Amino acid sequence: MQTIRYELIPAQGTDGEVAVITFDESNSPVNTMCRQWQQELGEVTAQVLGDRERLGAALKGIVLASAKTSFFAGADLKATMRLTPADAPNAFGEIERMKKHFRTLETLGIPVVACLNGAALGGGWEVALVAHYRIAVADPKIQFGLPEVTLGLMPGATGVTKMTRLLGLMGAQPYILEGKLFNPAEALELQLVHELVATREQLLPAALAHIASHPHAVQPWDDKNYKMPGGAPANPKIAGALTVAPAMLKKTTRGRYPAPEAALAAMVEGAMVDFDTALRIESRYLARLMTGPVARNMINTFFFDMNAIKSGKSRPGSAPRYKPQKVGILGAGMMGAGIAWAQASRGIATVLKDVSTEKAEAGKAYSAKLTQARVDKGRMTAEAQQALLARITPTASAADLAGCDLIIEAVFESRDLKAQVTREAEPQLAPGGFFASNTSTLPISGLATASSKPEKFVGIHFFSPVDKMKLVEIIRGKQTDNETVARAFDYVQALGKVPIVVNDSRGFYTSRTFGTFVMEGAAMLGEGIPAAAIENAAMQAGLPVGPLAVLDETALTLSVHVLDQTRADFAAEGKTYTATPGELLVERMVKELKRPGRAGGGGFYDYPAGAKKHLWPELKGLFEKPGVEWSVQEIQDRLLYRQAIETARCLAEGVLTSVHDANIGSIFGIGFPAWTGGAMQFIYGTGIETFLQRADELARRYGAGFVTETRVRESIEEFQPAYFEQNAL
């Protein structure tokens, strides 16, 4: 066998034997439920049955072990990517066959013990649940759980059914519907793991000792006296909670994520029937999900694209990995303070400079506020808090930047100011150090003219709030060398964040594409579509907030400032910039209607003290046109297609160079709906031909923003992932 080893070893303290099943997939760093493994699971189950018949009572038990550093990684997601709805019956059959083998092993009457030497996630945790007794290494870094829902799937290899019967309908929900993970100590507290050992070498002896002292074993749900923890669905308390659960779930998923809804249905329906029927219900729901478009979209992006970034696919060159020891930050405002926190929390010495010591101290106070909240909740010790804060040195003196490996400017979006602070601080860099700008819109190549070493000048664009936003956009200027981009990439990963790499242009990728989203929303308002319809349709499409609310939060004045700067830049080149309808409406809101955004007292929304925000009532009279035709689908298509087309343009122009950067950047940077798999995956998941036909329709109605030029169409075809060449939906 190529994925499983089987052997009989002497039982402890008796003449009998113990069957040891060791998972060891060849040519793979982890164990997966690949087709070969599924076949060999049947073979090894047959071997166990043969030895049970041959040895009788002398077969004392079964041990499940792993030869990898982890226990078991789960499903073969590459195979899942190639499935279509027509494959659902076959998928159901495969799931059922695998579970039949699981049931055979756990109903022999002898103890099955799982030796959890490392992570057991998804299908890996379901393999562990075959065991009556689970022993884990007491390493807090090890993770267990069922994260399938984060990939558009649900646990379907007994996970839903068993976790529901182990924890109860209410207790299991966070682990099934939210994909909450847990470490060995937490698993022991939940009674999902029964024993902890200090090292992996102690696992097998502990397993043999348990088998010796527990000759008979039965799963809890197979015990005739079993009762579901917390009560069955008929229990009045449980029934009351289940009445509102679908509505609460729909509020979160907005109907765009079928996996949590399917998992909840499988939990409840399964709890009303016998165990084996519950397993079939679970299989049906999983087969439907794994052959559907949302799972394919989410697996592609959150597994394959994310792993491509983590493994350094966007990192140029082959320079050794790098982590700066001392980093300077210019500007202690919201962004600078957030970056200081991100660095100090990862052990990087930070010099936080502003025009006065008071402003720099105020920036450091942000980290004090964040750490204090953790101390108050028991998530951080006072000593750890003090150590973190000691890494941040607030100052008004450029001399304190001396010896920094990296200096990042995070000052106001003004070319002149950025040039001034660059010239002041750059001489303080350590030999071989590099300089970065946190600008969100200004072209890096232009800012680099203030640097004495433009090849060591790069864009590192953090998103606000820095402590919550995981994405960082690295921008390569025209002269930025590979080593500098690679070091910026490593620095971002050292902060525990997700880097994407783009080439220089106005707005780069994220700000440019984000701008099309909010301005399309503003344009629709200008056409007479009700503001509430625009905002609600956006939310129903899976966007985190509506475009008008986003404009308010980011400040309408900032959008107008960017517009003015763009006009000035075009004029300097002897060109005239033609503002879009959305940009003109935002400009009118600021300059004529004096509505600057939330920070200035109000924009598209009013913000009454102590009350919930609401749309500015004057919008109706100013912009709404009762006779204008609109539909929710049309609004949603305009918002999603506009961003997807701009993303494809960025690929065509070389601003983006990979689909994985596009998809991850769109979801984590600008809030593109996760169910789509990202802006490019939205195109591929829709099907290229279908997408382009709809884009043409939108272009005829709403103009140039939806036009897909020849080179854009060619780029869409060129960058199409191999998984979708045959299976676009």
> Is 424 part of the annotated catalytic residue set?
no
Q: Which of 148, 261, 282, 646 is catalytic?
A: 148
Distance CA 568, CA 413 (A): 14
C-alpha dihedral sign at 149, 154, 158, 163: positive
Distance CA 457, CA 452 (A): 9
Contact present, 133 and 193 (Cβ < 8 Å): no
Encoded tokens for 302: 């959150």
The neighbour count for residue 202, using CB atoms within 10 Å, is 16
User: Comparing C-alpha atoms, which of 409, 410, 408, 414 is closest to residue 562?
Assistant: 414
How many Cα atoms occupy the beta-carbon half-sphere of 111 within 13 Å?
A: 21
| 3 state DSSP class of 371 | helix
CA dihedral 378, 381, 386, 391 (to 10 degrees): -90
The DSSP result for 243-254, as a single string, is: HHHHHHHHHHHT
Encoded tokens for 507: 């707005």
Q: Which residues contact 661 (CB under 8 A, 6 or more apart)?
A: 309, 314, 500, 501, 502, 509
Q: Is 127 left (phi over 0), alpha (psi -120 to 50) or beta?
A: alpha
Contact present, 504 and 444 (Cβ < 8 Å): yes
66 forms beta bridges with 23
Distance CA 453, CA 35 (A): 54
Q: Which residue has the tokens 């087709």?
A: 35
Contact present, 513 and 523 (Cβ < 8 Å): no
Phi, psi at residue 242, to the nearest 5°?
Answer: -70, -20
Distance CA 525, CA 652 (A): 30
Distance CA 274, CA 267 (A): 12
Q: Helical H runs in 541-678?
A: 547-554, 556-572, 581-591, 618-623, 632-653, 659-670
User: Comparing C-alpha atoms, which of 76, 251, 249 is closest to residue 151?
Assistant: 76
Distance CA 352, CA 357 (A): 10
Phi, psi at residue 253, to the nearest 5°?
Answer: -85, -20
User: Comparing C-alpha atoms, which of 341, 380, 347, 384 is closest to residue 363?
Assistant: 341
Beta strands in 410-482 (DSSP E): 429-437, 457-462, 471-476
The CA R_g of the chain, rounded to the nearest whole Å, is 29
C-alpha dihedral sign at 44, 47, 52, 55: negative
Q: Which residue has the tokens 């079939």?
A: 280
Contact present, 352 and 364 (Cβ < 8 Å): yes
Q: Which residue has the tokens 């756990």?
A: 106
> Is 126 part of the annotated catalytic residue set?
yes
Q: Which of 25, 40, 106, 126 is catalytic?
A: 126
Q: Which residue has the tokens 């590459």?
A: 78
Distance CA 548, CA 532 (A): 10
Distance in Å from the first CA to the final CA of the chain: 36
Size of the chain, expressed as the number of residues it contains: 729
Contact present, 242 and 268 (Cβ < 8 Å): yes
Q: Helical H runs in 151-213?
A: 159-171, 173-177, 184-189, 203-213
Q: Which residue has the tokens 């040891």?
A: 20
Active site amino acids = 126, 148
